[in-house]
């Protein structure tokens, strides 16, 4: 008997066609699947539409709905879930699912860089491979959240969109992909990375901003955030987690105002570490009370901090390098 897969459609390029007002998602999940009919060779598939939006307009409410519908699908007895999604924020929705899904089935996100009405659309092949992954015994045993794209399978906790427009859009910079696809099989390169959820699929109540650091960056963005009453800040630091002296002084003031601060990096790969002194150095920021994103991207750290602030009395405990 074939495995059963539920496809949850949310919009994005894979569902978009061009028009006078620009490309917009106009195609439902059933039509998307119709262009990838080969997927039915690997599984019995049902389709449900969760949303029809561009992923640059994705929000926590829709992300929560995706996970809720994945839970409902698992309760219905499906073996895996595939989510069709825009690429701009696919990694964020996949990471949110990794943090919040308690479903004992894999959730595999996929999409397209080329619309169905463009030459050589990549959506059908990506969707077929996502179904192949979600139906695979090793992923079904492991569960977890993943991204299937351009003949590769990535763990949600490792993947990022690395190119704006090429079909080889996604990478896992430090670990590489979990698996790759060829015509005959899914070739696993290391074990699927599934982690225990840290909370339920809630809509965070906390407000968290990302503040970038670069040459001569002043303290104004942090002062504005404090005045606006934010609950948390993720700093897009330089190198292994450093900022300008002006931002460093402002971070100290933010922490004094009970704003939780997590320091990440603008670097594409590698982990943050509190090493350097001086006003904006990572060790100084740690001594002020900042946490560190470790190997999370700043967009992942923002999601994690928003959930932590909304559910935990000690939100920085969610960040492993805090206090080290």
Residue positions annotated with a catalytic role: 13, 87
Question: What interhelical angle do 90-100 and 60-75 show, nearest 10?
Answer: 50
- Torsion of the alpha carbons at 109, 123, 171 and 78, rounded to the nearest 10: 20
Distance CA 149, CA 168 (A): 7
Distance CA 225, CA 15 (A): 36
Residue 55 CA from chain centroid, whole number: 12
- Torsion of the alpha carbons at 62, 105, 81 and 45, rounded to the nearest 10: -150
Q: Please name which of 123, 145, 147 lies closest in space to residue 36, comparing C-alpha atoms.
A: 123
Task: Name the one residue in this structure whose structure tokens are 């463009």.
Answer: 118
The answer to whether 274 and 309 are in contact (CB under 8 A) is no
Sign of CA dihedral 151, 157, 197, 13: negative
- Extract the tokens encoding 33: 């699947």
Sign of CA dihedral 117, 113, 140, 143: negative
Distance CA 123, CA 278 (A): 49
Question: What interhelical angle do 220-228 and 245-256 show, nearest 10?
Answer: 20
The answer to whether 319 and 289 are in contact (CB under 8 A) is no
Distance CA 213, CA 179 (A): 35
**Which letter does DSSP use for residue 212 in this model?**
E
Cross-strand partners of 261? 233
């Amino acid at each position: 008997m074939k495995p059963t897969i539920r496809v949850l459609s949310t919009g994005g390029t894979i569902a978009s066609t061009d028009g006078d007002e620009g490309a917009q998602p106009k195609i439902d999940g059933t039509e998307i699947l119709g262009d990838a009919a080969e997927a039915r060779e690997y599984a019995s598939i049902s389709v449900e539409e969760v949303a029809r939006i561009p992923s640059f307009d994705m929000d926590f409410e829709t992300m929560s709905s995706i996970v809720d519908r994945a839970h409902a699908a698992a309760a219905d007895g499906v073996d895996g879930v595939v989510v069709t999604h825009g690429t701009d924020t696919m990694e964020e929705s996949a990471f949110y699912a990794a943090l919040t899904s308690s479903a004992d089935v894999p959730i595999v996100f996929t999409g397209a860089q080329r619309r169905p009405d463009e030459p050589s659309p990549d959506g059908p092949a990506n969707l077929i491979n996502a179904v192949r992954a979600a139906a695979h015994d090793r992923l079904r045993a492991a569960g977890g959240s993943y991204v299937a794209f351009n003949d590769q399978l990535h763990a949600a906790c490792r993947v990022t969109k690395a190119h704006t427009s090429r079909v080889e859009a996604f990478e896992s910079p430090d670990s590489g992909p979990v698996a790759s696809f060829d015509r005959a099989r899914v070739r696993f390169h290391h074990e699927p990375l599934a982690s225990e959820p840290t909370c339920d699929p809630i809509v965070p109540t906390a407000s968290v901003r990302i503040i970038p650091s670069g040459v001569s960056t002043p303290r104004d963005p942090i002062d504005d955030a404090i005045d606006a009453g934010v609950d948390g800040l993720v700093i897009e630091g330089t190198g292994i987690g450093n900022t300008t002296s002006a931002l460093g002084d402002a971070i100290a003031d933010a922490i004094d105002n009970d704003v939780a601060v997590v320091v990440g990096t603008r670097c594409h790969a590698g982990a943050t570490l509190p090493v350097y002194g001086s006003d904006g150095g990572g060790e100084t920021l740690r001594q002020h009370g900042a946490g560190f994103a470790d190997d999370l991207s700043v967009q992942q750290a923002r999601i994690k901090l928003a959930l932590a602030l909304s559910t935990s009395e000690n939100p920085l405990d969610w960040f492993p390098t805090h206090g080290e």
